[in-house]
Chain A
Amino acid sequence: MSCPRCDSDNASQKTLSPRLERWALVGGPNTGKSSLINALAGSQLSVGNWAGTTLERLSARLDLEQAQVELVDLPGTYSLLATSPEEALVVRELLQNPPDLVLNVLDAGNLERSLVLTLELMELGLPMVLVVNLLDEAEAKGLKINLEALEEVLGPPVAGTVASRGQVAEVLAKAKEARVPSPKVRYPEALEKAIDRLTPRIPNRALALLALMGEENLPLSQEALKAVEEERAHLEKTGLDPYLLALEARYATAQEVYHRVAHRIGSKPPLTEKLDRLVLHPLLGLPLFLLALFLTFRFTFTLSTPWVDLIGRVQEVLAGWVVALPIPPLARSFLAEGLVAGVGTVLAFAPLLFLLYLALAFLELSGFLARMAFVADRAMQWAGLPGKAFVPLVLGFGCNVPAVYATRTLSHPLDRLRTALAIPFMACGARLPVFTLFAFVFFPQQAPLVVLGLYLLGLVTGLLTALLLGKVLRAERGEGTMELPPYRFPPWRLLLRLAWARTQSFVQGAGGPILIAVLTVWGLLHLPFPGGSPYAFLAQALTPLFHPLGLEDWRLVGALIPGFIAKEVVVGTLGVSLLGAEGLNPLSFLAGVRALLDSLLSALTGTLQGLGSLFLPFSLNLAPEPTPLQVALKEAVSPSGALAYLVFVLLYTPCVATVAALRQVIGGRVALAAVVYQFSVAYMLAFLARQLLP
């Protein structure tokens, strides 16, 4: 490793060799590190507009002429003085596994704060390039950053970027000029002398400073630790606190550099402040937040309905063609009732999920999701959770699995536990097909309200769980500091890419369990068994347990069984067990093609009508033309039983993938207890829901 104390004039010039290199991206939370990697390497790392999008070490490969580069995306950190496990990961990676190059990503709009970390990184003795990202936001704030002056003042090469729009070309050119910078901060003499005396045992200046500032769990020998303790005691005896001395010098230097390189070019008040006055208003904030949730669902349902219908029609046509094939009856049944009617029914909801993910991605990337967390902070206070916990909870509406992992942004272990246990009550995208199917059949005029009500019920149940658990565990109120990112209008390409990737992940992730579960159910339905089929026997044996909920049809109860594997399977299983061969009619090739073209035309006109009706009053008839499955459902259960079924599906045991995530985050025993707890809560609330309707 190069000498960390050398002058910039004598600094070693880093030349790229044709070997595999590792470049680490280090910067504050929400400065666009993942976007930068995606723009450089064309990868698909998760991006967001809230602090904590990246919680683990992720990487992507970049092929250059002279080298293959592993770009390592590290969690965001404001300083090497770690305050969470994720920040500690960054420090560990830099100290114990030093990269070939540090790409320090700075937020141009918050340059002064970003510079504090830059000054610390310059003490590591690693080749470094500064990437000043989000230049567009700085400009919108009326700030002009002089990149040449920044390079001149600090030393390392400086590249300016707008990563979210792909403007990153300068980074690779500057990487070729990367060099080990000389440290910029000059600490008070007493501290500098202490560092000098430690140099034989701790040659790395950054490590010596961290040790003197009292950081723990550093990779130091016993001998070095003893020397550090002696130096600290010596400083404190003279009334000097190394922690405060170091902070003093760093902030003063950051302030000085900032004033030399940043200039205000306009005095227009930032859009963020103007919007925040409205969005974060104590009284208007909550109604606006509920309106945003309502519009999200309205957008999703109104625009997806024509495409759901189209895919449903494609499924009917395919099944019709299969039924007309001259193949053995068992094979025909397998293809039409197993593959097409089962998996096809679930895939028909892909448009619904795509639009939901699109709306959630917009809320997330625009900065509105983080504001929702702030507005919800009061509700979170009621549940004894920090406002930050609201972000994982809202992400749970998309998918519970990443939401459970996102609880790792919470630094207090009890906050993490309580939020993780609340998340499975959030209605994930996989439960949406069940909600829409039942809501449109039994409550066609109020379908969006019923679905919104279910989402809110899940949220309230989750918060109550956190509250009760907090009382039992006597948890104290968690941390309240929350990062509010600036508003950004996300590029459409990015929104579409995110929504597509998440829908694709849903379809791919659901594919395995669906095939196994639906085909198993089909097999169980068609296997010879005394008095019916094994599936019917099992479902019928469980059905008395569900009589108090108004569920007397064993086929409805049976569909809950594979739902333990994945919630996506419930609708598919219902399709197979309720319709059977009766729902299918043979079709000629030409008749099928004609039906498909008609449906495509209907979907296109339906979308245009949907766009026009997005902001119209609520009286629109959103109910689609009843499908055979919807007709069969109406005969199988009463509206009160259907409501109980919806509540049960919302709240009962999470899917296998979520249980696996819970096991990783909070431990196997607690995850098992959570499964039993959720089943009990679901049963109790479904019973109560049944009493609401006659």
Chain B
Amino acid sequence: MMAKVLDLLTSPKTPRELAGALGLSLEATLLLLQQLERRGYVQSLPCTTSCGACAFRNLCPGPNETPWMRILGKLTPGPTP
């Protein structure tokens, strides 16, 4: 599952999208993302980084719609038994 998560997050995904892909509930996915974030495997991308000077950038993200992405350079998980 972790390999799939990190693989999916090589491009930005919202928690909702990720939950759908993993078959986990949204709340469990959010917890997983927070646990990966605290060790620097992933980071959330506030829309300010992608919308530049858009005047409405702070109006866009609803709850659980902020995209997340993998931080490269961390260990990849080994084979799952």
Interface pair B58/A378, CB less than 8 Å apart: yes
Q: Does residue B73 face the partner (Cβ distance < 8 Å to A)?
A: no
Q: Which of A81, A116, A276 contacts B63 (CB 8 A)?
A: A276
Q: Are B28 and A116 in contact (CB under 8 A)?
A: yes
Which residues of chain B from 1 to 35 have a CB within 8 Å of any chain A CB?
Answer: 1-2, 23-25, 27-28, 30-32, 34-35
Whether B78 and A283, one on each chain, are in contact in the complex, defined by CB atoms closer than 8 angstroms, is no
Q: How far is the CB of A332 from chain B (nearest CB, A)?
A: 63
Given A251-B24, A378-B59, A480-B46, do A245 and B31 touch, yes or no (CB 8 Å)?
no
| Residue interface bits A235-272, CB-to-B below 8 A is 1, else 0 | 01011110111011001101100100000000000000
Shortest distance between the CB of B12 and any CB in chain A (Å):
15
Contact with B along A372-383 (1 / 0, CB 8 A): 001000100100
Specify the chain B residue showing the minimal Cβ separation from A377.
Answer: B58
Most buried by B among A244, A374, A482: A244
Choose one: A79, A244, A251, A254; the contact of B75 (CB below 8 Å).
A244
Give Cα A93–Cα B28 distance, bound, in whole angstroms.
25
- Determine if B27 and A113 form an interchain contact, defined as CB atoms under 8 angstroms apart: yes
Chain A residues within 8 Å of B50, by CB = none
Do residues A248 and B77 form an inter-chain contact, with CB atoms below 8 A?
Answer: yes
Q: How far is the CA of A125 from the CA of B31 in the complex (A)?
A: 24
Q: Which residues of A contact B78 (CB under 8 A)?
A: 188, 190, 238-241, 245
| A53 at the binding interface (Cβ < 8 Å) | no
Chain B residue numbers with a CB within 8 Å of A236 are: 75
| Given contact pairs A110-B27, A112-B25, A248-B77, A243 touches B39 in the complex (Cβ within 8 A) | yes
CA–CA, A252 to B28, complex, Å?
11
Instruction: State A164–B76 Cα separation when bound (angstroms).
Output: 44
Instruction: Check B77 against A244 for contact (C-beta < 8 Å).
Output: yes
Residues in A with CB closer than 8 Å to B2 are 244-245, 247-248
User: Given A245, A254, A484, which contacts B77 in the complex, CB threshold below 8 Å?
Assistant: A245
Of the residues B31, B39, B44, B63, contact of A280 by C-beta under 8 Å: B63
* Pairwise interchain contact B59-A481, C-beta atoms closer than 8 A: no
* Residue with the greatest number of chain A CB neighbours at <10 A, chosen from B27, B30, B38: B27
Judged by a CB distance under 8 angstroms, whether A9 is at the interface is no
- Provide the residues of chain A in CB contact with B34, threshold 8 Å: 78, 83, 481
Please state if B44 and A481 are interface contacts (CB–CB under 8 Å).
yes
User: Most chain-B Cβ atoms within 10 A of its Cβ — which of A238, A254, A482?
Assistant: A254
How far is A416 from B54 in the complex, measured between Cα atoms in Å? 30
A328 on interface, CB distance cutoff 8 Å: no
The answer for the CA separation of A247 and B22 in the assembled complex, in Å, is 14
The residue in chain B whose Cβ has the minimal distance to the Cβ of A379 is: B58
Where chain B touches its partner, the secondary structure class is loop
Considering the chains assembled together, what is the distance between the CA atoms of A81 and B39 in angstroms?
11
Residue of A nearest to B34 (CB): A481
What sequence of 0s and 1s flags, for each residue 45-61 of chain B, a beta carbon within 8 Å of any chain A beta carbon?
01000000000001110
**Smallest Cβ-Cβ distance to B58: which chain A residue:** A378
Number of A-B contacts (CB under 8 A): 85
Return chain B residues, CB-CB under 8 Å to A78: 31, 34
A482 to B39 alpha-carbon distance, docked (Å): 19
User: Per-residue 0/1 for A161-196: is the Cβ within 8 Å of any B Cβ (1 yes, 0 no)?
Assistant: 000000000000000000000000000111000000
Decide if B38 touches A241 in the complex (CB within 8 Å).
no
B interface, size bucket: 20 to 34
Q: Among A112, A189, A283, which residue has its beta carbon within 8 angstroms of that of B81?
A: A189
Q: Please name all residues of chain A whose beta carbon is closer than 8 Å to the beta carbon of B31 when the two chains form the complex.
A: 78-79, 113, 116
Partner among B30, B76, B80 whose Cβ is within 8 Å of the Cβ of A248: B80
Interface range, A side: 35 or more
Task: Establish whether residues B63 and A188, one from each chain, have CB atoms under 8 Å apart when the complex forms.
Answer: no
A214 at the binding interface (Cβ < 8 Å): yes
Instruction: Tell me whether A247 and B32 are in contact (CB under 8 A).
Output: yes
Is A282 on the interface with B (CB-CB < 8 A)? yes
Cα distance A79–B34 in the bound complex, in angstroms: 11
Most buried by A among B23, B36, B78: B78
Whether the Cβ atoms of B38 and A81 lie closer than 8 Å is yes
Shortest C-beta distance, A541 to chain B (Å), equals: 51
Docked CA distance A239–B79 (Å): 9
Complex: how many Å from CA A374 to CA B58? 12
Give the Cβ gap from A223 to chain B, nearest Cβ, in Å. 26
Closest-by-CB residue of B relative to A235 is B78
User: Within 8 Å CB of A481, what residues of B?
Assistant: 30, 34, 44
- In angstroms, how far is the closest chain A Cβ from the Cβ of B9? 13
Q: In the complex, A239 Cα to B28 Cα: how many Å?
A: 26
What residues of A have a CB within 8 angstroms of the CB of B24 in the complex?
112, 251, 255
In the bound assembly, the distance between CA atoms of A456 and B44 in angstroms comes to 32
Is A251 a contact partner of B27 (Cβ separation < 8 A)? no
A280 and B1 contact, CB distance less than 8 A: no
Give the Cβ gap from A377 to chain B, nearest Cβ, in Å. Answer: 9
List, in ascending order, chain B residues with CB within 8 A of A241's CB.
Answer: 74-78
Q: Please, which residues of chain A bring their CB within 8 A of the CB of B30?
A: 113, 481
| Chain A residues at the B interface, C-beta cutoff of 8 Å | 78-79, 81, 83, 110, 112-113, 116, 188-190, 214, 236, 238-241, 243-245, 247-248, 251-252, 254-255, 258, 276, 280, 282-283, 374, 378, 381, 480-482, 484
Q: Which residues of B contact A (CB under 8 A)?
A: 1-2, 23-25, 27-28, 30-32, 34-36, 38-39, 41, 44, 46, 58-60, 62-63, 66, 74-78, 80-81
Q: 15 new A-B pairs (CB below 8 Å) besides A244-B77, A251-B32?
A: A78-B31, A79-B31, A83-B34, A112-B27, A113-B30, A116-B28, A188-B81, A189-B81, A239-B75, A244-B75, A245-B77, A247-B2, A282-B59, A282-B62, A481-B30
Q: Can you spell out 12 A-B residue pairs with CB atoms less than 8 angstroms apart?
A: A112-B28, A239-B76, A241-B74, A243-B39, A244-B41, A248-B1, A251-B24, A258-B25, A282-B62, A374-B63, A480-B66, A481-B30
